[in-house]
Structure 1
Amino acid sequence: MSQLSELPAQPAGVPWPTGEWTTGPLRVRDAAGLSALIEEAFAAPDTERLGETHALVIVQGGRLVLERYNDGYGPDQTYPSWSKAKSITHALTGLLVDDGRLDIHAPADVPEWRTEPGDPRAAITLDQLLRMSSGLAFVEDYVPGHVSDVIEMLFGAGKADVAHYAASRPLAHPPGTFWSYASGTTNIVARCAARALGVDAAGFEAFMRERLFEPIGMRSAIPKFDAAGTFIGSSFCFATARDFARFGLLYLRGGRWDERQILPRDWVDYARTQTPQPAEREGDYGAHWWLNLAGPGSFSANGYEGQYTVAVPDLDLVLVRHGKTPLAKKDAVKAWIADVADSFR
């Protein structure tokens, strides 16, 4: 843990945004550079380099310092999480670990892996699932017409029971030896969480709201469940951009909110500790959070088509971006986010 950057505390005198956000002045080193980046993103409904940018929220020192929306979008609109929901699933798992209901280093509670004696999948742990190192075969491809387990799981034969679809995949590698980003693993984790609580979809949503959303004022959140009652934690939790910023601030503050420790501090550190198996093609990865997108020590919830919630400890900054960016422009949006953060350095 000594290699992790220090997480900043909420500045004295700055109210926690459980209700309304406190606004404040923008403290930026390169104001002209930041202004140019924002104008580039919002210059048109669909820009050549970044695609569509729908919303941008920047929180600095616990205050809302910048907010911008494109035509047809606004602060009261809920935006898709896509894979940002994976980081919400991480938070929910951490609550249950803190309650003593889950042990991430024990074999995961997955019935499909215990029907046949000697099934090697039965050794897979929640830690390996959270670190995308389970070894399960899963094709994460969003191009229509391509072989894609994620499309089949979310919109095809697997949509009625997303966790069962993912858990039915065979091993491609021994557990814990190979990193491979797979939305299916998150839905297995989400079902494990509900099984640990012994609740159905309504009970799990009540848990989400009571233990996570309500305490931080994330009241716009709309989680989606499949027909089997599993939270589709890989992909579907809608919320306003301001509420995604609240979620980012919770992690930037080490899981603390006002006078409460919502998430264990070591759980936030676990999220931002790099996975041993390298994510060579994608970037650095922790446990259901991406690492170093906006500079060393930053960590982020990244979603399909350019949804981002980025925590930047050295700047005490949370950056939320929503839009609709084609896959071919994904790297350009990542570079844009890094440049926005750099304008504060």
Structure 2
Amino acid sequence: MKTPSTADLTIFLCIAQHLNFSRAAVELGLTPSALSHSLRALENRLGLRLFNRTTRSVALTEAGARLYARLKPAFRDIDDALEDLNNFRDKPSGNLRITAGRQACELVLLPIASEFLQDYADISLEIVESDAVLDIVAGGFDAGVRFGNRLEADMVSLPIGPNMRSMVVGSPSFFERHAPPQKPEDLHGVPCIRHRFPSGSMYRWEFERGGITQEIEVSGPLTLGDVSLMVGPALQGVGLAYVFEDMVTGHLADGRLIQVLANWCPYYPGLHLYYPSRRHVPAPLKAFIDFARSAREQSREGSFQ
């Protein structure tokens, strides 16, 4: 049996990671047909089928799964060895992939990333916007951004933004038609703008006061999949909206929106950068971690002046 090349095994690993020929082809810069041809050549060389594939799905065979389990840590060691060469550079270089929800991107990640890239011209940063809860390892991401109270225990995390809170807001015209709720239970029967997650489940509004927590399943005439889209309909009086404070500060100041249930909306841990607890952190990610930490410290110092 002729020993497969590193390129052949790289193609196998990429397909195994995505279980999707089109996504693997995009990542490797190949056409799906070229990718399929390379995989067939590898399987013929090994004398084994590595994937079961139909027009609808791609799945590893038992042999393919065992090969993937053995090759993945070995190639990770190779990547780590190459990453060590970044220690000899004045500034690190390479690719960095981060996933975050749209609000995380707008509120915290993009402002930090824009300044970061000015200092690290040799790093190419890709931000994949998704509100779905993703497995960053399986998805090929170096890191992700999520709220600190929703992180897996096996992840290393770093706060990159201040503590945050959500608010229930409505327009003056809305409150001309509806009495302001005094407690979370009063939301039942009041028109609200609902939020549906990418998974299909509906978000239940979260409240806390004096150690007592409540989750309210609201109803209303409008359901949206993006929190940032709720401000406009709230301004027009469609219903109450449950949004991040930073999204409505200006509207609250000029009286176009009114906050209710303020005593039930405390601050909670803000956005965190999180990444797998590995023995070796890639140089581009390490540079971003250090930059984000420094930016947060400077922001906190400025808030006390």
Question: What TM-score do the two structures reach when normalised by structure 1?
Answer: 0.21
Structure with more contact order per residue of length (Cα contacts < 8 Å, sep ≥ 6): 1
The structure whose Rg is larger is 2
Question: What TM-score do the two structures reach when normalised by structure 2?
Answer: 0.23
Structure richer in strand, relative to its length: 2
